[in-house]
Amino acid sequence: MPGGDAREAAKTVTGSLEAFPHLPELPARGPGADMLGRTIGLLAELYAHVEPSGWRLSDRPGRDTRRARSWMGEDLDALEEFTQGFEGPLKVQAVGPWTLATGLELRGGEAVLSDAGACRDLAASLAEGLRGHLAEVRRRVPGAEVVLQLDEPSLTPVLSGRVRSASGYRTYNAVDRVVVEGALREVFAAAGGAPVIVHSCAPEVPFALLRRAGATGISFDFSLLTERDGESIGEAVEGGTALFAGVVPGTDTALSDPALSVMGVRTLWRRLGLSPGSLATSVAVTPSCGLAGASPAYARSALAHCARAARSLADNPE
């Protein structure tokens, strides 16, 4: 979400998305509130600080780690305030192990991705940190059915060996799919049986791998789908995987009629021969990616637009 006011963001999210609110992220506040820093603040027994090149592992928690934890506490306070008496699904999000491994540096400056052992340690630390975080959310919002979202926009480059080294002159080796799947499964287990959504607003989302790893839902930018993705989408729906279709632009633009926003979803359903009746239970309507680059007014409009588009999809699946 845009801006830096945790209470305003929580008020907007809980007011616009009454049936499925989430814990907002406010990266405009700076390092520690950014996507990576926020998750680094959750890690168990691993710490990092900010260098000019980005986040780098440290021996002990410093100012940057403390700032990340402080902002998370502020965000949880605001969420708790605006979810008094709430019962139902509540989403929290963190960076997944492989995007974290591409964005976090070892002490020498290379990405954690370059060291298989460091990747294993990072996944274990993330899993343990998420267990504590989810327990805290459940304590603060007792009626919540917590849903965990893991952001993995770097997952496809990790699998294809397209992540550039610190020098930029070479790329790291592709990580074996079995290894990628194993780390994801370990982190998914931290949810304690709660639903896990994996989000990527990058092209070539590996739907089949994510389903094998145990993802309950997959969130993606609908505009980036290709015909090759059609079969994977069909298999996901038939296998009971929820789809979070990013059809609403994440930055300021004129929004169309809500029914038109989901026209592409209806068209895809017909092309794949899927039952229109399954749209309401299989698809959630979301922004294409985060709303941090939008104006506050547009962010509020986009969330309300998603809710209206979802109702249109459910009421008129044909």
**pLDDT, tens digit, for every residue of 178-224?**
999 999 999 999 999 999 999 999 999 999 999 999 999 999 999 99
Average pLDDT in the 16-41 region?
A: 96
Q: Which two tokens stand for residue 50?
A: 């900010």
| pLDDT at residue 116, as a whole number | 98
| pLDDT at residue 168, as a whole number | 87
| pLDDT at residue 256, as a whole number | 84
> Which amino acid appears at position 250 of this protein?
G
Residue 318 has pLDDT above 90, yes or no: no
| pLDDT at residue 34, as a whole number | 95
Separation of alpha carbons 240 and 194, rounded Å: 15
CA triple 124-125-129, angle to 5 deg: 120
Q: Which residues does 263 contact at the CB level (< 8 Å), separation at least 6?
A: none
| pLDDT, averaged across the chain | 96
Give me the long-range contacts of 275-281 (CB less than 8 A, separation at least 24). Answer: 276/317, 276/318, 277/317, 278/237, 279/313, 279/314, 279/317, 280/313, 280/314, 280/317
**Per-residue pLDDT tens for 63-90?**
999 999 999 999 999 999 999 999 999 9
Which residue, 304, 292, 245, 302, is CA-closest to 24?
292
Q: Are 26 and 3 in contact (CB under 8 A)?
A: yes
Separation of alpha carbons 108 and 56, rounded Å: 9
> Which amino acid appears at position 173 of this protein?
N
pLDDT band at 301 (very low <50, low <70, confident <90, very high): very high
| pLDDT at residue 55, as a whole number | 97
